[in-house]
Amino acid sequence: MLGLRRAKHHGFRLSPNLLSYQSTRHIQTATVTDADIARLACQPLHPLTLADLCKHGHPPLSEQSLLNSANFTLSLLPARLAHRIQSLRSLPYIVVANPNVSKIHGNYVHSLSTLLPYAERRIETLKDEVDFTAVMADLVQTHNNTISILARGFLEARKYITAKEVTRFLDEHLRARIGTRLIAEQHIALHFSSQPHNDLHESAHHIRDAEESSYIGVIDTALKPAHIIRNCEATVGEICELKYGVRPTIKMVGETETSIAHIPMHLEYVLTELLKNSFRATIEAGMEREAIEITIAPAPATEEQTKTLKNKAEQMIHDHVGVISNYDQGSVDHASGGNKPERASAGNIRALSDSTPGVTIRIRDRGGGISPENLTKLWDYGFTTFNEDEINEKTSSSDPAGGMDAVMSQGGVGGGMSLAGLGYGLPLGRAYAEYFGGGIAVQSLWGWGTDVYVSLRGVGKV
C-alpha cells in the first residue's frame, strides 16, 4: 500500500514501467579496474544546482533536450560512484569483508561497469538515450536496498569499528547517495514524461500527458505538504492499528494550502519517520486520545532564519544564503581526499534563487518527551531504543517487515527492507531535510511531549 502511494506522488511511473523497462533491455558492461576507480575518484564532485536539474525545460522534452539531459547525467555519475567505492575501501578490512558491506561495494562496482561504456563518448541518438535510460533504471534498482543492507552490515560488524567512525562514514555515504539517486531518477522521470523516443518501444500509449503535470522530473513545483502529511498519517495509522489496536489522530493547523517546489519522495520519508516516532510515543504513553498537532507555517527563507534552525539542529551554520555545504550533501569525501570542508563551494546544490520561500512544519505530541540521556544520541546512526535482543532478531530475521517495521517494508528512499528499530530513521531523515538547505530541530519537554520542527527550503518556486 505504501508503495502505491509513493508511486502516485512520484513524477514518473516508477512501477511497473521502470522495472520492466530495465529488465527487458540488455545492459552492456565494461571491466572496472583499480586505475579507473582511482582516476575517477580524483575528480572533484561536479557543482550541481537545482536550476541544472530543471534547465532542460518542462516535459515533454524535445529530442535535443532529452539528449542534453542524458549527457548531463552521464557527466556526473561515474565520478560520484568512484568516490563511493573509494570510501567503502577505506573502511577496516574486517568491516568490508562483512557480507552485507561487501555486497554494497559490489553493487557500486557493477553500476560503474554499466556507465563506463558511455563514459568516453556522448549520447547522440535516441537509441543511445533509450539504452542509457535502461542503465539508469538498473542503477536505481541495484541500489534500492543500500541503506538497509548497510545498516545490518554495520550492526554485525559493530565490534570492529567505533560508533564515531560508523556515524562519520554513514553520514557522508548516505548523503552522497541521495544526490546519486536524484540525478539518475531525474533523467528517468524526464525520459518517461517525454515523447521523442515513443516510436522506439511499444509502451508509447502509456506515457502520461506531462504538459498538465506540475512536475519537472521528480521535482513537484506545486507540492502541498498537507497532502503528504495526510498520506503519511494514513500509512502509519494503519500500522499502529495492526500493532497496538489504536491509532492517534492528527490536527492540522496553520496555512494548510501552502505549496512549494520540492521532491515528494524526500518529504514523504522525513514525515513518515517523524510521525512513526510520534505515534509510537503517544500510544505507549497512553495519550492516544490527545491529537498530534501539526502546524504548517510558510516563511521566506532568509539567511537569519536558516542560521537559527541550523543552530538548533547541530550548530552548523551555512556561510552564504542559498548555498548548501558539502557536508550536507556527503561531498566531503574523506577517503579520496577530495572536496574537503574548506572547499565547501565545490560540490553544492544551490537554491533556484537567493530568496526562495520556505515552509516550517511543527509536529507536537504528548508522548512523554525524550529523556536527556537519549536526546544527546538522537542523531547518531545506529542509536536505537530497541534492546540488544530485538536488534539481534532484526539482523537475523529473514522477514523483517513485521509490526511497525512494515512502515519501511515497501522500499522508497529508505531502501527496500525495514529500517525500523535500527537507529537510522532520524539521522537519515535529517540528511534529506538538510540536503536542500532545510533541517530538523527537536525540542523535548521530558515527562510531557516533544516538538519537532522540519524546515524546507532551498528548492523554492519554479
* pLDDT tops 60 at residue 351: no
pLDDT above 50 for 322: no
287 vs 202: which has the higher pLDDT? 287
Residue 462, in any domain of the structure: no
Does residue 94 sit in helix, strand or coil? helix
Report the pLDDT averaged over residues 207-220: 73
Strand partners, 439: 455
Collapsed DSSP state (helix, strand, coil) of residue 401: coil
Please write down the long-range contacts of 209-215, taking CB distance under 8 Å and 24 or more positions apart. 210/58, 210/59, 210/60, 211/58, 211/59, 211/60, 213/11, 213/59, 215/11, 215/12, 215/59, 215/189
Q: Give yes or no: residues 234 and 207 share one domain.
A: no
pLDDT band at 210 (very low <50, low <70, confident <90, very high): very low
Residue at a domain's end among 194, 216, 238? 216
Q: What percent of the chain has pLDDT over 70?
A: 68
Rg of the chain on CA atoms, in Å: 21
Cell 496555512 found at: 255
Alpha-carbon distance 2 to 45, whole Å?
34
Q: How far apart are CA 356 and CA 105, in angstroms?
A: 38
Q: Is residue 461 domain-resident?
A: no
Strand partners of residue 260: 223
Confidence of residue 27 (pLDDT cuts 50, 70, 90): confident
Give the integer Cα–Cα distance in Å for 213 and 194: 12
Is the pLDDT at 111 greater than 80, yes or no?
A: yes
Instruction: Identify whether residues 86 and 206 lie together within a single domain.
Output: yes
Helices (H) and strands (E) counted in the chain, each on its own, are: 16, 8
Co-location of 173 and 269 in the same domain:
no
Q: Tell me: pLDDT of 321 over 60.
A: no
365 with 308, same domain: the answer is yes
Adjacency order of strands within the sheet including 215-216: 215-216, 219-223, 260-262
Asked, for residue 294, whether it belongs to a domain, the answer is: yes
Strand ranges, E, within 329-420: 357-365
Fill in the DSSP letter of residue 454. Answer: E
Residue 372 to residues 388, 427, 445, 461: CA-CA distances in angstroms? 21, 18, 10, 39
Shared domain check, 425 and 276:
yes
30 pLDDT band, cuts 50/70/90, is confident
Q: What are the distances in angstroms from CA 327 to CA 184, 408, 435? A: 21, 26, 9
- In Å, what is the CA distance from 130 to each residue of 24, 165, 236, 338? 12, 41, 38, 33
Same-domain check for residues 101 and 233: no
Domain containing 387: what range?
Answer: 219-456
The residues, any chain, with a CB within 8 Å of residue 207's CB and separated by 6 or more, are 192, 193, 194, 195, 198
Lowest mean pLDDT across 249-253, 291-295, 320-324: 320-324
For residue 362, being part of any structural domain is answered with yes
Asked if residue 336 is part of any domain, the answer here is yes
In a shared domain, residues 32 and 179 = yes
Distance, CA of 172 to CA of 175 (rounded, Å): 5
In a domain, 68, yes or no: yes
255 and 171 part of one domain:
no
User: 164, 198, 216: which is the final residue of a domain?
Assistant: 216
Quick one: pLDDT band at residue 352, thresholds 50, 70, 90?
Answer: low
Rounded distance, CA 342 to CA 401, Å?
Answer: 42
Q: Is the pLDDT of residue 39 over 90?
A: yes
Task: Give the single-character DSSP code of 58.
Answer: S
Band of pLDDT at residue 152, cut at 50, 70 and 90: confident
Residue 323 lies in a domain: yes
Q: Please, which residues bridge with residue 440 across strands?
A: 454
Please say whether the beta carbons of 69 and 34 come within 8 A.
no
For cell 539567511, the residue is 303
CATH code assigned at 312: 3.30.565.10
DSSP 421-436: TTT-HHHHHHHHHHTT
Whether 170 and 251 share a structural domain = no
Identify the three-state secondary structure at position 170: helix
User: Is residue 187 predicted with pLDDT exceeding 70?
Assistant: yes
Look at residue 453 and give its three-state secondary structure: strand
H/E element holding 439? strand 439-445
Overall pTM > 0.75 = yes
Contact predicate 407/236, CB 8 Å:
yes
Three-class secondary structure of residue 455 per DSSP: strand
Length of the chain: 462
Neighbouring C-alpha atoms within 13 Å toward the C-beta of 37: 22
The last residue of a domain, from among 216, 238, 269: 216
pLDDT of residue 348: 45
**209 and 225 share one domain:** no
Q: Give the Cβ contact number of residue 251 at 10 Å.
A: 11
Same domain (yes/no): 335, 422: yes
Q: How many domains does the chain have?
A: 2
Can you point out the beta strands (E) in 241-291?
Answer: 250-254, 260-262
Question: Other C-beta atoms within 10 Å of 379: how many?
Answer: 18
In a domain, 272, yes or no: yes
Contact indicator for 275, 239 with CB cutoff of 8 Å: no
Measured from the Cβ of residue 371, the count of other Cβ atoms closer than 10 Å reads 12
**Which of the four pLDDT bands, split at 50, 70 and 90, describes residue 448?**
very high
User: CA 58, CA 368: separation in Å to the nearest integer?
Assistant: 47
378 & 445 share domain: yes
